Amino acid sequence: METEKKVEEILKKNHLSITGGRRKILELFLQGDGALSHSDIEKKAGEKFDRVTVYRTLQTFLEKGVIHSIPTADNSIRYALCKDDCSGGHHRDDHVHFICNSCGNTVCLEDVAVPEIKLPRGYLSEQVEMLVSGVCKSCNK
């Protein structure tokens, strides 16, 4: 199966041992194209995994650069897969995130770059996050 290979590839590339939990969570990310919150994952994974495992797995994936986190206004961080080129720790995650107010989905707009901005004198920018909310392609019909 295609997904299964990808899962193993990602885990191996990041020197992570291949376990059931990591497999399952990666599959979820590969299947749906949207971002997932912690509770999304808990629900979709069925009753199979302990809550703590999900926390720790997400934590590990974050550290390795497998996923990135997307802050949201409703206090529920979401996570999405990183593209290939940002694995290995340094993290190039300069695309816009879109949250649909209709269906609630969060997606990465990989093709929309975050524009440069000029900060006031004295401020040093290290990372920029851009969060657009509105109506997504699927709901806007």
Partner DNA sequence: GCACTCTTGCAACAATGTTGCAAATAATTT
Partner DNA sequence: AAATTATTTGCAACATTGTTGCAAGAGTGC
Using CB under 7 A, list all residues that contact DNA.
16-22, 38-39, 48-53, 55-57, 60, 75-77
Residue 17 contact among its own copies, DNA, none, beta carbon within 5 to 8 Å by kind = DNA
Which of 90, 85, 135 minimizes the C-alpha distance to 110? Answer: 85
Residue 70 CB-density burial (10 A; 0-12 exposed, 13-18 middle, 19+ buried) = buried
Contact in structure between 141 and 103 (CB atoms under 8 Å)? no
Residue 86 contact among its own copies, DNA, none, beta carbon within 5 to 8 Å by kind = none
52 binds its own copies (CB under 8 A): no
Q: Could you tell me whether strands 36-37 and 95-100 are parallel, antiparallel, or unpaired per DSSP bridges? A: unpaired
What would the two tokens of residue 63 be?
């550290």
Residue 101 contact among DNA, its own copies, none, beta carbon within 5 to 8 Å by kind = its own copies
Rounded to a whole number of angstroms, the minimum distance from the CB of residue 95 to its own copies is 11
Residues 62-91 binding its own copies (CB under 8 A) are: 69, 71-73, 75-77
CA 84, CA 87: separation in Å to the nearest integer? Answer: 6
Options 20, 88, 101, 104; binder of its own copies; rule CB under 8 A = 101
